[in-house]
Structure formats: structure tokens, C-alpha cells
Amino acid sequence: MIDSRIKFRHLQTFLEVARQKSVMKAAAILHISQPAVTKTIREMESELGVAVFERDGRGIRITRYGEVFLRHAGAAITALRQGIDSVSNERSGEGVHIRIGALPTVSTRVMPHAISLFLQEETQSRIKIVTGENAVLLEQLRLGDLDLVVGRLAAPEKMTGFSFEHLYSEQVVFAVSASHPLLNSQEDIFSLLAEFPVLMPTKASIIRPFVDRFLIANGVATPPIQIETVSDAFGRAFVRSSNAVWIISSGVVADDVDDGSLALLPIDTSETRGPVGLTMRADITPSLPLMILMQTIREAAIEASTT
């Protein structure tokens, strides 16, 4: 039987090693020595009776038992943080801290309006919004660093321990500058793609498999001039100032297309359509302010999907 010898430091160290996939990096972040990290992990493994990490070449990887424990350790840390935050907020009079991960597809079209609606509720909550690749945001959600991720539904194997609420569906588009030569071309667009730089989602992004399959189905294995990016700011600026083709979720460029600064190539991409929604940890009950924010996101999503 596991006793009370598993302490907060064991959970914290375990979660950081799992996050960094490196004892050295975890030690640097925790401001302790590598031997101290190794000792803490071994103490925890001794109490559990199983190994939670194993060597993988020059690095380490989490074991099957470690994956199981990770879900519960993350929940424990999250609950403890919520308790500490609640006491701190009660003493200081501040509202609840809400941490949201937003994929680029919702960062420009949904979240600004959702936050505006939320602020009208005057919950006094402190909001933090981060963006990035889906894999990174889901890992932060799993470890308790985020309360909610808003974006595309991840692959089934990535959704273990999570719940998903569907809001709307969207597809990938091929965005270009308003004066791009392909807009008036009479030739097959896919046969001409090789002549232009193509901005692609990174391999870790959630829409990359959809894009790869779609290109292969249309006779394009790999665009020869390819730039991978998850930065919508770079993509927007680069496409406006060049003849590049940007393959991106429609929500990222919807406003740009509406104001005429960007245009969409006449390509039927309906087979890349996928669900967008709210992803949460299945073992966490949201606070009242978070539930209010989720409702404002729903309202903003409805508006975005009908305009």
C-alpha cells in the first residue's frame, strides 16, 4: 500500500520530468541538482513499486505505468493549486485565475469576442491566454498548467483523460494575397504550386495530417519551397507581401478575407473539415468563472460560424 511518504515534491518533480522529457532540463527549471531529481524520482518509484520513466536512446520516456500515474498526479497538483489560489484570492479580494490555451484558429475569430462578453460579467477573474501547437497546449492541460484548450479536436490517441465539447466545424483553406497570379490562372492550381513558396502548418500541428493527405490526393507530395510555421502574424505579413500560398485553418484568415487583404484560391477543401470546440480534463470540475467563460466562448463561436 502507498503511504504518505509520497510528497508534493515527488509529484512536482515527476510532472516536470514528464513535461521536459529530460532530468537535466527539469533540474534547471526546478532549481535543484540533477542527482536530487533522480533521487526524488527513485523514491517515488520505490513507493509505487514500478518504474515511471525508462531510457530512450540518450533521453528518457515515460512508461505505461508513468502515463497512468501522470493523469492522477496532474489532477492532484491542479486541485492543490486551485485550493491555494482560492485561499489567496479570498484573502486578497482577487478573482479566480483562469488559464486558457487557444489554437490560432480561434485566437483571432472567437476569443476576442468571447473575452469581451466575459468581461461584461464582472467576475473579477484574472485571465491568461496562451497559443501554440496543439500537442504543447494539451500537454499543459494534462499537467494542470491550463484549465481549458479551445481549438480543433485532437486525434483519438491524444484525447485520453480529456473531454471535448463540439462548437462548430471548419476546414483548411489556401490563402494568398489579393493580387496573387493563381487567382486568375486557367491552369490546374496544384500543378503550379511548385512555383510559389508554400506556408505549411508544422508537423506537430493538429491540421498537418489533413493537409498532407489532401496534397497527396491532389498529386502534390511535398511542395519544393516549403516554410513551416504556426505564427499567424508571420503568415499574414509574409503572404501579403509576397506570392506565397498559405495553407491554414479558415478561421485564422476569415477577417483578412472579409476585408479584402487576402483571398482564397478556388479549391474545394471540404474533405479537410474538422470539429472545433472546448477540451478539458475529464477529472476536473470547472469553477463558476470558468463555466461563465465557456458560455461566452460558445456564444462567440456561434456568431463566428454564422458570419
87 and 12 part of one domain: yes
| pLDDT score for 143 | 81
Which CATH number covers residue 55? 1.10.10.10
> Pairing between strand 172-177 and 262-264?
antiparallel
The residues near 71 (Cβ < 8 Å, ≥ 6 apart) are 142, 160, 161, 283
82 and 136 part of one domain: no
Give residue for cell 506537430: 204
Let me know if 300 is exposed, middle or buried by CB neighbors in 10 A (0-12, 13-18, 19+): buried
Which CATH number covers residue 204? 3.40.190.290
81 and 3 part of one domain: yes
For residue range 145-192, what is the model confidence (pLDDT) as tens digits?
A: 899 999 999 888 888 889 999 999 999 999 999 999 999 888 899 999
284 and 210 part of one domain: no
152 and 299 part of one domain: yes
234 and 206 part of one domain: yes
152 and 181 part of one domain: no
Separation between Cα atoms, residue 205 and residue 259, nearest integer Å: 27
| pLDDT score for 1 | 41
Q: Which of 92, 114, 144 is the last residue of a domain?
A: 92
Which CATH number covers residue 158? 3.40.190.10
Task: For the chain, list the strands marked E by DSSP.
Answer: 53-56, 59-62, 97-102, 126-130, 148-152, 162-170, 172-177, 198-200, 226-228, 245-249, 262-264, 274-281
223 and 133 part of one domain: no
Separation between Cα atoms, residue 66 and residue 286, nearest integer Å: 26
44 and 12 part of one domain: yes
241 and 291 part of one domain: no
225 and 290 part of one domain: no
Q: Which of 41, 71, 92 is the last residue of a domain?
A: 92
SS3 108: coil
Give residue for cell 509505487: 48
Letter for the amino acid at 38?
A: T
pTM of whole model > 0.75? no
31 and 43 part of one domain: yes
- Please check the confidence at residue 137 and state whether its pLDDT lies above 70: yes
- Please check the confidence at residue 3 and state whether its pLDDT lies above 70: no
Q: Which of 42, 76, 92 is the last residue of a domain?
A: 92
Q: Give the chain's domain count.
A: 3
> Pairing between strand 198-200 and 226-228?
parallel
Return the C-alpha cell found at 108. Answer: 483571432
Separation between Cα atoms, residue 273 and residue 81, nearest integer Å: 37
Q: Which domain holds residue 261?
A: 170-273
Letter for the amino acid at 42?
A: R
The alpha-helical segments, DSSP class H, found in 157-231 are: 189-192, 208-217
For residue range 38-92, what is the model confidence (pLDDT) as tens digits?
A: 999 999 998 888 999 998 877 888 999 988 888 778 777 776 766 666 666 555 5
